[in-house]
Each structure stands twice: as structure tokens, then as C-alpha cells.
């Protein structure tokens, strides 16, 4: 699923066949996901996050549902916790955060190691000694937010324009050499000193306008480790 329509991207300035426009939309989506550390459609993912104070696990994506929670152990992951051992909250609900709350105060006499006389879930977790959990579930937004769709269209046009420097670009940047047909033939940095003002790819989409549109969707939580 794309974050914006072909029509929206074309209206923003993307040119070419439908297949070419779709490719620029896909590139923009990839850049948006990397920048925001979010996904904006329902997506099955596996994420790992740190266990904080009182068993609070802040998750790195917007939660839709959780199907399994397990401690990260060496060499193998521990068994999945039963649903009674945790509860899930989601930012889909106003005032809530995306998190798994481990039931430190609870117990289950039917689960070996989590009995009331063994210290319950907290006692079991302490014996595991795990500092992280692996969470399997569905993450993302039910529908692409309007601002994200607008950002995707604008970024697709921005990326296409960057890939084909114009004569005006060359005039603004003397280090960019363009031949008679507008092809970039050489980029040379003659300064041996470290560059200043360079930002990492994760710090920006490459467009300040798009960055501004996405500011409310940034998520700098734990890292995604894989997709299902």
C-alpha cells in the first residue's frame, strides 16, 4: 500500500509513467518510515524493547494488537508469556502510550516459576534476568494520516528532482558540473577539511518542508529488529 495516490504525487510535481511515479512514491515511503521510525499502515512486525522501571516496556511503533511477548535470552528466547502476565496500551487511545506493562504484582499458580509462593511474575522475570522483551504483533495506523499522505507526495517530487539536477541547480552549486544535456558529470569536493552542517539520514527526510509535516509523527523509541 502506498502512502499517497498516483494523482497526488503527480499534482505535487512527479512526472513519468504510472510505474515510474509509483516507484518514486515507494522511495518516499521508505524515507518517511526511516525518518519517523513509524509505519502508517497495519503491518505485522517483531520488535525488541527494553524493560524499564516497574515492568514498563515502551514500544517503538504504534500498537494495534500484540500476539506474543517473550523475554530475550541467550542463546534462545524464553517461552511466550500468557496474556495474564501483561497488558497492552496504544496511542490509538487518547492519553495512552504504546507499551507493554508487565504484571510485576501478579502471579499464576498454574505457570511453573510464576506461582504466588515463588514471587509471581516478578520472581520469574528476575530468575530469567532478561533486560529486554521481544514483542510480536500488528503495528501502524489503521489509515494513512492526511499529513503523511501530503508529505509522501511532496517527498516523491523532491526525490525525483534531486535525481535530475537542473541547470539552475548547477548555477547555484559550482561544484556540480552539468553537460549540455543536463547530465551531472562530476561532483568534486576540493576541501580536505571535514564538512560542516552535515546531518545523518535519520535526522531528516532531505526536505525541510516534509520534515515539518512529519514532526508530529516522530518516534525515537527502541529499534525494529525484524518483520514477520
* Ramachandran angles phi, psi of 184, nearest 5°: -75, 115
169 shares a domain with 81: no
Q: What's the number of domains the chain is made of? A: 2
User: Is the same domain home to 63 and 99?
Assistant: yes
Looking at the fold, whether 24 and 80 belong to one and the same domain comes out as no
- As a whole number of angstroms, the distance between CA 6 and CA 9 comes to 5
pLDDT score, position 153: 97
- If asked whether residues 96 and 178 sit together in one domain, one would say no
Q: Is there a single domain that holds both residue 211 and residue 158? A: yes
Calpha distance 91→97 (Å, rounded):
5
pLDDT at 188: 40
What is the domain extent for residue 174?
Answer: 6-40+144-185+201-218
156 within domain boundaries? yes
Residue 225 is assigned to a structural domain of this protein: no
Q: What is the pLDDT of residues 140-164, one digit of tens each?
A: 999 999 999 999 999 999 999 998 8
- Please check whether residues 92 and 119 belong to one and the same domain: yes
pLDDT (mean) for 94-106: 85
Let me know if residue 163 belongs to a domain. Answer: yes
Amino acid at each position: 500500500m502506498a502512502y499517497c495516490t498516483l494523482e497526488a504525487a503527480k499534482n505535487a510535481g512527479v512526472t513519468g509513467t504510472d510505474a515510474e511515479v509509483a516507484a518514486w512514491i515507494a522511495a518516499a515511503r521508505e524515507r518517511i518510515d526511516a525518518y519517523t521510525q513509524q509505519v502508517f499502515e497495519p503491518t505485522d512486525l517483531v520488535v525488541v524493547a527494553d524493560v524499564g522501571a516497574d515492568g514498563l516496556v515502551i514500544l517503538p511503533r504504534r500498537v494495534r494488537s500484540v500476539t506474543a511477548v517473550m523475554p530475550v535470552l541467550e542463546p534462545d528466547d524464553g517461552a511466550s508469556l500468557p496474556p495474564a502476565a501483561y497488558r497492552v496500551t496504544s496511542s490509538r487511545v487518547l492519553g495512552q502510550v504504546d507499551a507493554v506493562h508487565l504484571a510485576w504484582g501478579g502471579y499464576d499458580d498454574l505457570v511453573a516459576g510464576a506461582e504466588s509462593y515463588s514471587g509471581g511474575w516478578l520472581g520469574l522475570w528476575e530468575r530469567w534476568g532478561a533486560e529486554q522483551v521481544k514483542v510480536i504483533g500488528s503495528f501502524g495506523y489503521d489509515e494513512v494520516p492526511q499529513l503523511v499522505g501530503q508529505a509522501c507526495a511532496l517527498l516523491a517530487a523532491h526525490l525525483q528532482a534531486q535525481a535530475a539536477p537542473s541547470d539552475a541547480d548547477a548555477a547555484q552549486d559550482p561544484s556540480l558540473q552539468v553537460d549540455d544535456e543536463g547530465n551531472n558529470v562530476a561532483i568534486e569536493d576540493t576541501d580536505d577539511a571535514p564538512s560542516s552542517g552535515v546531518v545523518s539520514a535519520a535526522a531528516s527526510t532531505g526536505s525541510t518542508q516534509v520534515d515539518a509535516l512529519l514532526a508530529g509523527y516522530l518516534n525515537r523509541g527502541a529499534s525494529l529488529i525484524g518483520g514477520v
